[in-house]
């Protein structure tokens, strides 16, 4: 059987590929098992500095949950208990390294939700993005209702969730859902260039900056400011901070070690 998620490592970058192109990379039980395993493996590898999440095939990043698994539903208490303890999406939140979502084609439902769990979203100009769940009599279930308004604001989030309409990559950029849009043929090269740029930067500073920004979502301003200062203080005596200063004085590119 083909692996539902592929993990490839090259030049400090972990390429994580949803590998069900025949099903538009829909999320099934096998993917939900394999995806956090790949993220945790990349996170634990000291040679990896950046993770990229993408979809196999030409049609989709991810079309959402596999409807074939919705034939039978557990009782409401059983289902809620199962989902409360289903921590597969938590692997994204636990990752300290930057995660890029490289989006092409269809990106719907759970596909959008996993991209929202990433740190940066870059999209091809052919991307169609949406949350169709309410039209199916359900709603998001892996963070869409929580992460989307944090990214685009409540109004735009409710518009997407309640109408179920698919938006273009250009519209997604307008509302801040994605930060970069490139021609489809250039998506891989643009993603690789962005990942390489991040991989060349000081890993500890990247991790702490990510922690500060994500932490701010759950903290009052005063506590967030304290977290920022605490993290900055920890960075001041790192080897990479000192290397950056030396390289600046010597007018040469820095060589960051991650220490």
What's the rounded Cα separation, in Å, for the pair 79 and 84?
9
Is the Cα dihedral 17, 210, 194, 48 positive or negative?
Answer: negative
Question: 148 with 217: CB under 8 angstroms?
Answer: no
Least Cα distance to 216 among 208, 207, 225 occurs for 225
Token pair of 153 as six digits? 């604001």
Please tell me what DSSP assigns to residue 23. G
Residue 38 CB: number of other CB atoms within 10 A? 23
Question: 63 with 25: CB under 8 angstroms?
Answer: yes
Is the Cα dihedral 209, 169, 53, 111 positive or negative?
Answer: positive
What's the rounded Cα separation, in Å, for the pair 235 and 239?
9
What's the rounded Cα separation, in Å, for the pair 117 and 196?
21
Q: Which residues are catalytic?
A: 113, 133
Strand order in the sheet with 60-62: 60-62, 106-108, 128-130, 167-168
């Amino acid at each position: 059987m083909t692996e539902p998620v592929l993990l490839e490592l090259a030049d400090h970058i972990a390429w994580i590929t949803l590998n069900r192109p025949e099903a538009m990379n829909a999320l099934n039980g096998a993917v939900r098992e394999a995806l956090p395993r790949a993220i945790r493996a990349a996170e634990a590898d000291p040679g990896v500095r950046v993770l990229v999440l993408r979809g196999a095939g030409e049609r989709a990043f991810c079309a959402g949950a596999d409807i074939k698994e919705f034939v039978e539903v557990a009782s409401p208490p059983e289902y809620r208990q199962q989902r409360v303890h289903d921590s597969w999406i938590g692997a994204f939140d636990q990752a300290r390294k930057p995660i890029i979502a490289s989006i092409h084609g269809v990106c719907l439902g759970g596909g959008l939700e996993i991209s929202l769990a990433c740190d940066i979203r870059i999209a091809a100009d052919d991307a169609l993005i949406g949350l169709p769940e309410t039209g199916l009599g359900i709603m998001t279930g892996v963070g869409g209702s929580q992460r989307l308004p944090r990214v685009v604001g409540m109004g735009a989030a409710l518009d997407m969730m309640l109408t179920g309409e698919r938006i273009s990559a250009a519209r997604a950029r307008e509302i801040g859902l994605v930060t970069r849009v490139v021609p489809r043929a250039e998506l891989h090269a643009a993603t690789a260039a962005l990942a390489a740029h991040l991989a060349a930067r000081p890993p500890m500073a990247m991790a702490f900056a990510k922690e500060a920004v994500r932490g701010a979502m759950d903290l009052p301003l005063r506590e967030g400011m304290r977290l920022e200062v605490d993290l900055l203080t920890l960075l001041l005596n790192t080897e990479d901070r000192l290397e950056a200063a030396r390289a600046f004085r010597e007018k040469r590119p820095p060589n960051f070690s991650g220490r």
